[in-house]
Amino acid sequence: MPLSSSPTRTPPARSPWADAPAFTVVLVVAALTLVIVPVAQMLGPGAGSQHGLEPFMELVAVLLGLLVVSVSLHTLDPSEQARANVLVAGFGVAAVCNFLHGVLAHSTPVHMPSGTAHISLWLSSWARVVEVITLLLTAARLAMPGPAKVWLAASGVVALLLVGSAMGPLPGWFAAAAGGALRQYLALVLVVALGVAAVWLYRSPGRRERVFAWAAVAFLGGELVVGLLGGHSPIGGPLSHGLRVLAYALLYQAVFDAGIRAPFARVQEAERRLRESEGRLSLLGRNLPHSVLFQVVRELDGSSHFVHMGDAIERLNGVTVQEVMADFRVLYRQVLPEDIDRLRQAERQSFLTMTSMEAVFRVRRTDGQIRWMHLSSSPRLLDDGRVLWDGVQTDITAHRLAEEAAHAHEALMANMLRQVPGGVARLDRDLRVLYVNAQQASWLYRKPEELQDRLLQEVIPADVFARMQPHFAKAFAGETAVFENRMDGPDGLQVRHTTIAPESVTEQGVPAVVLFAYDLTGL
């Protein structure tokens, strides 16, 4: 009676929000906000500029931007690194500008030099422009090939150029241009560009692009809040900063999922499948009679070692799996000296041509027995340039001994048949000539070597073959067939007394028959 298996316990479903970094960030910021606001009120009027909610949110946005850059810099999926470089370069510049803007915007009047407000506005505007450009390039699926650190260095150079430009007259000109309307026009352009980026990203394939689209919507919301309520109003300021924090949290969510979580999940899935495959391979190997499955790797430096060896190796060679895995030469030391060169040559040829190898060799087991082994393996090139062979080794000693016995039997039979007068031939169940003596071959006007391994119907006339078929059928049924065979030849009619007898009768039937013929033409 089969044992009943216990029901599989399904782990409880987890909410998608439970593993979302963006949700975690928002919760942490909300909790800290509840602490910061009362603290700022306790410190009195003016403390909010340095210790209030807005500086805290700007700092959080900068830190999240740096996390976006860091994760994009070290994505676990090499195929995505070229696209991740866009984020490294873009948000690297934005993080520097946002940080300097926050430092300048929330300095006390005592520490605020002349023109600081204009410089802060200049850097903040460039940060917003770079953020929008980065989102548009991401929507366009632009790739920037090359090392990520090179693009990070490039973003540092661009940030330095922007900081350098802030030291000149450009910030003052930007703040006063068109009576302050230029920055409003810029805000309008950014709103339109963010709307385009949001729609473009949302329609793009991939979950990461969808999350980027919601980040663009959050940036868009922040721009609208500043335009409608003002960036320094009691409601507009915190709300716009909160939307920027949300936007950066969503960006971090997207790059974290695409650059770390998804590749890590694929690695875990590959490891799980590998363990299952190894388990099936091991189970299959244990149930293969007289065989063992193995995998061997050739490293880039030319050294080799086993990465898998079935438990059956102990049954075949008398050594444990642990011994083989520790030193692969254990098995090679068992190969007889007469066969080792041939085995090495087959391995080298397989490596040079990347083709399957077959080898038959003898080994001396640990108990002193000499066994015949047949080895078959196929190479495949790994991604890192190494070569791995999947193979099977089979103990063919019994087959080899049976083969040698069969050859000895055939040699003995051929020697006996040579002594028989008249024509003699030996044929298998397919009526293929296994042996024919010179007399029988001369009657067919051939040499014995010309008839060897030929089918009977290929060397005698069709009408003669048709007359002989019932007699062959009788012989293969285990009975002796005796008849007179008449054939027309170049020398006229030829008559031969023919006997077809089964060579032996086994449980599988008659493997071969022997044909004896005596010439009666002259009688």
Sorted by where each begins, the domain ranges of the chain are: 17-266, 288-395, 401-519
The CA–CA distances, whole Å, from 349 to 115, 346, 378 equal 77, 5, 12
3-state SS of 88-140?
HHHHHHHHHHHHHHHHHHCCCCCCCCCCHHHHHHHHHHHHHHHHHHHHHHHHC
Over residues 3-8, the mean pLDDT reads: 41
> d(Cα 309, Cα 281) in Å, to the nearest integer?
10
Q: For the whole model, what pTM was predicted?
A: 0.55
pLDDT of residue 228: 86
Residue 4 reports pLDDT greater than 60: no
> d(Cα 107, Cα 116) in Å, to the nearest integer?
9
pLDDT of residue 43: 46
User: Of residues 248 and 13, which shows the higher confidence score?
Assistant: 248
Give the pLDDT confidence of 367-414 residue by residue, as tens digits.
Answer: 999 999 999 999 999 888 899 999 999 998 888 877 777 677 666 666
Strand-pair partners of 376: 358, 392
Whole-number mean pLDDT of the chain? 84
Do 288-395 and 401-519 show the same overall fold? yes
Cβ distance 480 to 472 under 8 Å?
A: no
The CA–CA distances, whole Å, from 399 to 352, 394, 406 equal 31, 11, 10
Over residues 97-123, the mean pLDDT reads: 76
Half-sphere exposure of 190 (CA within 13 A, CB side): 26
Going across the sheet that includes 423-428, the strands are: 433-436, 423-428, 512-519, 492-502, 481-489
Which residues are within 8 A (CB) of 166 and not within 5 positions of it... i.e. 6 or more apart? 119, 122, 123
pLDDT of residue 7: 44
Cβ distance 130 to 97 under 8 Å?
A: yes
Cβ distance 236 to 225 under 8 Å?
A: yes
Residue 56 reports pLDDT greater than 60: yes
Residue 482 reports pLDDT greater than 80: yes
The CA–CA distances, whole Å, from 228 to 127, 224, 246 equal 20, 6, 19
> d(Cα 30, Cα 473) in Å, to the nearest integer?
95
The CA–CA distances, whole Å, from 367 to 277, 326, 338, 353 equal 33, 21, 20, 37
* pLDDT-derived band at 339, boundaries 50, 70, 90: very high
Give the pLDDT confidence of 159-192 residue by residue, as tens digits.
Answer: 999 999 998 899 889 888 867 788 888 989 999 9
> d(Cα 467, Cα 473) in Å, to the nearest integer?
11
pLDDT of residue 172: 87
Over residues 25-45, the mean pLDDT reads: 59
* pLDDT-derived band at 217, boundaries 50, 70, 90: very high
Question: In terms of CATH, what superfamily is 401-519?
Answer: PAS domain (3.30.450.20)
> d(Cα 243, Cα 222) in Å, to the nearest integer?
5
Measure CA 125 to chain center: 46
Cα three-residue angle 325-330-334, rounded to 5 degrees: 145
pLDDT of residue 23: 64
pLDDT of residue 386: 92
Residue 10 reports pLDDT greater than 50: no
* pLDDT-derived band at 267, boundaries 50, 70, 90: confident
Instruction: For the chain, state the CA radius of gyration.
Output: 43
> d(Cα 143, Cα 72) in Å, to the nearest integer?
13
Residue 105 reports pLDDT greater than 90: no
pLDDT of residue 47: 43
* pLDDT-derived band at 286, boundaries 50, 70, 90: low
Give the pLDDT confidence of 85-104 residue by residue, as tens digits.
Answer: 999 999 999 999 999 988 88
Give DSSP secondary structure letters for 312-356. Answer: THHHHHS--HHHHHH-THHHHTTB-HHHHHHHHHHHHHHHHHT--
Give the pLDDT confidence of 137-162 residue by residue, as tens digits.
Answer: 999 999 999 999 999 999 999 999 99
CA-closest candidate to residue 502, choices 392, 430, 412, 426: 426
User: Of residues 488 and 517, which shows the higher confidence score?
Assistant: 517
Over residues 255-284, the mean pLDDT reads: 78
Give the pLDDT confidence of 350-373 residue by residue, as tens digits.
Answer: 999 999 999 999 999 999 999 999
User: Of residues 61 and 421, which shows the higher confidence score?
Assistant: 61
Over residues 116-129, the mean pLDDT reads: 91
User: Of residues 109 and 516, which shows the higher confidence score?
Assistant: 516
Over residues 222-229, the mean pLDDT reads: 88
CA-closest candidate to residue 105, choices 57, 65, 156: 57
Cβ distance 231 to 216 under 8 Å?
A: no
Q: Which amino acid is at 372?
A: W
288-395 has CATH 3.10.105.10 classification: no
The CA–CA distances, whole Å, from 482 to 2, 502, 514 equal 60, 12, 12
Residue 440 reports pLDDT greater than 60: yes
> d(Cα 212, Cα 249) in Å, to the nearest integer?
10
The SS3 call for residue 385 is coil
Residue 212 reports pLDDT greater than 90: yes
Over residues 324-338, the mean pLDDT reads: 93
Residue 8 reports pLDDT greater than 50: no
pLDDT of residue 285: 62
pLDDT of residue 113: 55
Which two tokens mark 119?
A: 């410089």
Residue 330 reports pLDDT greater than 50: yes
User: Of residues 31 and 215, which shows the higher confidence score?
Assistant: 215
> d(Cα 112, Cα 117) in Å, to the nearest integer?
9
Q: What b/e string do you get for 500-510 counting C-beta neighbours within 10 Å, with b at 16 or more? A: bebbeeeeeeb
Tell the CATH topology of 17-266: Rhopdopsin 7-helix transmembrane proteins (1.20.1070)
Going across the sheet that includes 370-381, the strands are: 304-309, 291-298, 387-395, 370-381, 357-364
* pLDDT-derived band at 215, boundaries 50, 70, 90: very high
pLDDT of residue 418: 60
CA-closest candidate to residue 423, choices 474, 492, 498, 513: 498
Which two tokens mark 451?
A: 């008839």
Percent of the chain exceeding pLDDT 70 equals 82
pLDDT of residue 492: 77
Max CA separation in the chain (angstroms): 142
Give the pLDDT confidence of 448-469 residue by residue, as tens digits.
Answer: 999 999 999 999 988 889 999 9
Cβ distance 499 to 408 under 8 Å?
A: no
Q: Which amino acid is at 275?
A: R
* pLDDT-derived band at 40, boundaries 50, 70, 90: low
Over residues 1-26, the mean pLDDT reads: 51
Residue 46 reports pLDDT greater than 60: no
